Structure 1
């Protein structure tokens, strides 16, 4: 078993199934305040759109309580809808997503995403080649590699590994990657050493975040990380 697979097994045993991405249930009652739930299967395009919006909103902030609160509010206002995002005034949308931070910028990004999805609907994107889909997403103003890959993996079930700050922090501390390694280089390392299965990619990324919250949230990062014992 290679090192990355071994670390995945250790994290899964330690923290258990994470069930990312949290999503609002299909039996949600419009206008109510139901929080997204972990561990439920994504069943329709509205849920996939919610994940796409969530991937944008979680930029530079935490899911709980900030983005979770916004998703609840967007559902309450019936704004998990491409047409409604088009219609709603910028000021109203910005106010609705205020708790996610950078709300004026993110309101513009959500409108950019909605415009993109008018041209490339979710059903079409799911059938489009992975790398072509990624290229299209990266052409959206305000969408970088991490956000694009989160959309591809969690909303579209594409087989791509998401690299975030926590991934870099953990695996640089373990000596697996160089701190200055490029995004694509780190991503290639994971994808070359793991089975190409979107469920595994989702779970591994979620486990990395959970591990980082416990050992890499405060400096000195990872000083007492138990994973150091297996790479030392």
Structure 2
């Protein structure tokens, strides 16, 4: 049987591993935030060089997801955690998948920004900037909630997706209008619609992260029906009179 000193060392080592896992997830969250921010900057500034950098940086997020997953599996196998520790490790694995998808959406938006930099400008991009700021804030708050084990903060993020959906609905209607007014706008408008949808999906993943964090901390799930405001699926397109 291990003596008291050995037991203390084992416990301290385990706590250090859990701390390392928190740091890895927080680092991945920071990278995802930066990707979303720079992808939007590339769009607004029509900066194809920055957009290409965003695309190339996506590999770092993919690698970190693999490292987190391998680290979690090793912890589960060697430590056989219980209760809140088990929930946290499983949550870290799920969060890494959400963050990897967020990176994919940012990369896809950046790819379209490369094309848009060569197209004539249409309309204002203020809505895209507002959406980007909101999803980045929610993403940061959700990751901070995990690090700080703050279920109430996670619940606030979970309930704050409607403003993002509202902006997306406005962009959706605006882009349809541009396409109907002038067929030459169709290429740019379609790319912008996809970018807006990417940002809306990033917001959804931020709320998914918040749900996971809430469960990891409290051990119970939030309601299935969270507040949503995306009405684009029900849009009725009418030609201008």
Q: What's the TM-score once normalised by structure 1's chain length? A: 0.25
Higher gyration radius (CA) = 2
More helix per residue:
2
Q: What's the TM-score once normalised by structure 2's chain length? A: 0.24
Indicate the structure whose relative CO is greater, using CA pairs within 8 Å and at least 6 residues apart: 2
